[in-house]
């Protein structure tokens, strides 16, 4: 018997940044620098004041952007255009192995990210896995609430017409998995944080290990695709 009794899974929800690609790529660090730059330019904050503000808004509002919008009237479009203005291709390259794995999983795959849609799509395209996903739920979709706000998860599930019990969420942030677990979603922690002891259902170091997680949950190995015969 599998751990989840061969549960029927219809939907895989993937975080984007540092879940579908690894931290070593340096992409998120660069976005962080752009956010620092934005705070300096817009609010005249130096690096340490900016970092403090981000921590504060993260705790208070869930995301820096929501804090900036609520407390400073920052235009989200302007923030996103500035902070995500970078050459993704400098940091990421196509991941055909991940493409194969995702294509073999017989369930819908969607991205659920606190980043804006344009960035999500650019990352998926650069990794060449955009065809694997049927939908993108970005920060705007949740009216800049984002993860880990429980309402954001409910909005995504309602839009997909699915219940928690038929979903898996993969994310590199333990805090983002907590509300998911409460909603009955199977939680998979991806990356470095996974080494530490947290209350998640699965811990994997890289997203490609979803193949094993899938087999463990459903009791079914992933089928080979045509390209394996080449
Ligand atoms: Mg992430």
CA 228 to centroid of ligand 1, rounded, Å = 31
Asked whether residue 134 falls in the same domain as residue 208, the answer is yes
Residues 156 and 117 in one domain: yes
Does residue 19 carry a pLDDT above 50? yes
Residue 4 lies in a domain: no
130 falls within a domain: yes
Same domain, 156 and 193: yes
Distance 230 CA to ligand 1 centre (A): 34
Residue 126 lies in a domain: yes
Residue 3 resides in a domain: no
* pTM of the complete model: 0.93
Q: How many domains does the chain have?
A: 2
| Containing structural domain, residue 126 | 11-23+92-229
Residues 6+ apart with CB under 8 A from 185: 13, 153, 164, 165, 167, 168, 169
The residue-averaged pLDDT of 206-211 equals 97
Output the CA 1–ligand 1 centroid distance in Å: 32
CB 13 within 8 A of CB 110: yes
**What's the CA gap between 119 and 117, in Å, rounded?**
5
Mark whether 140 and 183 lie in a shared domain.
Answer: yes
Ligand 1 centroid to Cα of residue 207, in Å, is 12
Average pLDDT (213-230) is 78
Q: Measured in angstroms, how far is the CA atom of residue 114 from the centroid of ligand 1?
A: 8
Expressed in angstroms and rounded, the spacing between residue 193 Cα and the centre of ligand 1 is: 11
Any alpha helices (H) in the chain, and if so which ranges? 27-43, 47-61, 64-72, 76-83, 96-104, 117-127, 150-160, 174-182, 210-218
Assess whether pLDDT exceeds 90 at residue 74.
yes
Confidence of residue 225 (pLDDT cuts 50, 70, 90): low
């Amino acid at each position: 018997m599998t751990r989840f009794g061969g549960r029927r899974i219809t939907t895989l929800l993937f975080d984007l940044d540092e879940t579908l690609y690894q931290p070593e790529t340096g992409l998120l660090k660069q976005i962080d620098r752009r956010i620092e730059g934005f705070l300096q330019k817009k609010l005249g904050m130096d690096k340490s004041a900016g970092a403090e503000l981000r921590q504060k808004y993260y705790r208070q509002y869930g995301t820096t952007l929501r804090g900036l919008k609520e407390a400073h009237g920052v235009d989200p479009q302007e923030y996103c255009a500035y902070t995500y203005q970078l050459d993704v291709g400098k940091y990421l390259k196509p991941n055909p192995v991940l493409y194969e794995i995702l294509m073999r999983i017989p369930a819908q795959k969607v991205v659920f990210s606190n980043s804006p849609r344009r960035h999500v799509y650019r990352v998926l395209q650069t990794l060449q896995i955009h065809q694997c996903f049927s939908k993108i739920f970005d920060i705007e979709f949740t009216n800049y609430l984002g993860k880990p706000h429980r309402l954001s998860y409910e909005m995504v599930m309602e839009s997909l017409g699915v219940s928690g019990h038929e979903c898996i969420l993969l994310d590199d942030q333990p805090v983002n998995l907590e509300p998911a677990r409460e909603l009955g979603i199977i939680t998979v922690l991806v990356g470095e944080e996974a080494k530490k002891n947290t209350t998640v259902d699965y811990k994997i170091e890289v997203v490609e290990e979803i193949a094993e997680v899938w087999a463990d949950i459903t009791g079914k190995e992933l089928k080979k695709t045509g390209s394996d015969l080449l």
